[in-house]
């Protein structure tokens, strides 16, 4: 149920921290990727080694670790997740969250995040019922923090009442319910193309372009996180396969077109791949040897995958989106493609030298559709993907 979802679990210092070991195990059984942050107090109850062994990932805790900040800074740590879960959420960490205090990695990640946050309180009944705690909880709920529990039950201190941390199974159920409610593309099929294509000249040489596949892969992952049954058709790239996505690796434009046709029918098609426009008319069976003269290579046009999908008759996806990688006056050059390719939206971006778009981490998008042009600010490619996926979900729901 949680396949492909990324959970950042923040474990604070309370006796109920031991329950988080079972929580991690259950989340991973449901297919979630779990990354953990331990407060200093949490390490008095569970060890980083046990948490790391169960999560299968590095455990984070020290905001001043230069290695951690270089490899995974607190901003990225908080935003790479689909959901942040604070469990156990002690009175201390809830108070710091309410006041916006960030004096360690856990609270800094919570303040820096733009993703949903779920809190699983665990504390003495008198602490939970204290007016200060009630005010903090009310403040956090007003900000959209999701609370799970606390339950009534026996406390480690010997008292009885509300304050007991919800059981791991109940927390997992709440997490599943959260994602189900936000799975806006559940039941929809999405097709995404990504990366370059390689068009063979001979067994060792090929024609290609500078596309890294970062943007296409990010879009496939974002659509999957919204619940879409997503197929990614990707040319050669070093980008890892996105979690929760069916991936088809191809080489040439003709291979990519065949894989896209096989993935139909689909509700959504996003053609983010930078497909080579031409290919050698004939691929040499043997390596072409140097003889003092440059070989004459006759070129033929590759199939237009976006145009094929945009004009695929009964199999045409409800929403067909193309990318237009241009240099100079990108919007004017991209606008005619809306009609020429038979697509619904075109995302134009500038790949001129110096922009760093090809192979880089950021992108600047101009969304062209029937109603006009939307100029998006420069964003990371992950942010572009999230924004595009949300727009797609809006469109699908509005036109249902």
Q: Can you name the residues that pair with 379 across neighbouring β-strands?
A: 363
CA–CA dist 135, 131 (Å, integer): 6
The answer to whether 159 and 53 have CB atoms below 8 angstroms apart is no
Catalytic residue among 20, 36, 157, 176: 157
Task: Give the pairing type, strands 362-363 and 379-380.
Answer: antiparallel
**Phi-psi group of 350: left, alpha or beta (phi > 0 → left; psi -120 to 50 → alpha; rest → beta):** beta
Q: In whole angstroms, give the CA distance from residue 235 to residue 14.
A: 49
Do 154 and 120 form a contact (C-beta atoms < 8 A)? no
Residue 391, C-beta contacts closer than 8 angstroms, at least 6 positions apart: 367
- What Cα–Cα distance (Å) separates residue 167 from each residue in 1, 64, 121, 266, 268? 18, 33, 11, 40, 39
Residues 6+ apart with CB under 8 A from 159: 124, 125, 126
> Using CA atoms, how far apart are residues 174 and 148, in angstroms rounded to an integer?
7
36 has catalytic annotation: no
H helix intervals, 89-163:
91-99, 105-112, 125-128, 131-142
Q: Which residues have C-beta within 8 Å of that of residue 265, sequence separation ≥ 6?
A: 189, 315, 317
Structural contact between residues 114 and 46, judged by C-beta atoms closer than 8 angstroms: no
**Contact between residue 87 and residue 150 where contact means Cβ atoms under 8 Å apart:** no
Contact 394, 376 (CB under 8 A): no
Buried b (16+ CB within 10 A) or exposed e, 210-232: ebbbbbbbbbbbbbbbbbbbbbb
Helix (H, G, I), strand (E, B) or coil at 205: coil
Active site amino acids: 157
């Amino acid at each position: 149920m949680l396949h492909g979802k990324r959970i950042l679990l923040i474990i604070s210092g309370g006796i109920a921290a031991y329950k988080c070991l079972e929580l991690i195990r259950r989340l991973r059984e449901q297919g979630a990727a779990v990354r953990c942050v331990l407060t200093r107090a949490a390490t008095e109850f569970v060890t980083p080694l046990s948490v790391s062994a169960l999560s299968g990932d590095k455990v984070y805790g020290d905001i001043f670790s230069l290695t951690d900040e270089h490899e995974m800074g607190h901003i990225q740590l908080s935003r790479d997740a689909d959901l942040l879960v604070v469990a156990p959420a002690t009175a201390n960490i809830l108070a710091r969250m309410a006041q916006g205090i960030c004096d360690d990695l856990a609270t800094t990640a919570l303040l820096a995040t733009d993703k949903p946050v779920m809190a699983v309180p665990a504390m003495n009944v008198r602490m939970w019922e204290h007016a200060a705690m009630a005010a903090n909880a009310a403040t956090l709920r007003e900000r959209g923090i999701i609370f799970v529990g606390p339950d009534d039950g026996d406390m480690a201190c010997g008292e009885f009442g509300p304050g007991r941390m919800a059981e791991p199974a109940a927390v997992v159920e709440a997490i599943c319910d959260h994602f189900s409610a936000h799975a806006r593309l559940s039941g929809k099929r999405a097709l995404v193309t990504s990366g370059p294509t390689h068009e063979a000249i001979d067994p060792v040489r090929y024609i290609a372009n500078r596309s890294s596949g970062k943007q296409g892969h990010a879009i496939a992952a974002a659509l999957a996180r919204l619940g879409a049954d997503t197929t990614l058709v990707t040319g050669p790239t070093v980008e890892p396969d996105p979690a929760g996505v069916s991936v088809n690796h191809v080489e040439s434009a003709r291979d990519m077109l065949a894989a896209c046709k096989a993935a139909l029918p689909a509700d959504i098609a996003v053609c983010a791949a930078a497909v080579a426009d031409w290919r050698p008319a004939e691929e040499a069976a043997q390596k072409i040897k140097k003889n003092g003269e440059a070989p004459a290579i006759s070129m033929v046009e590759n199939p237009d995958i976006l145009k094929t999908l945009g004009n695929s008759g009964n199999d045409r996806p409800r929403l067909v989106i193309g990318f237009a990688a241009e240099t100079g006056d990108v919007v004017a050059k991209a606008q005619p493609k809306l009609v020429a390719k038979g697509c619904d939206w075109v995302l134009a971006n500038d790949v001129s030298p110096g922009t760093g778009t090809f192979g880089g981490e950021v992108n600047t998008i101009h969304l062209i559709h029937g109603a006009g042009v939307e100029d998006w600010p420069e964003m990371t490619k992950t942010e572009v993907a999230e924004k595009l996926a949300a727009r797609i979900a809006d469109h699908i729901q509005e036109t249902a």
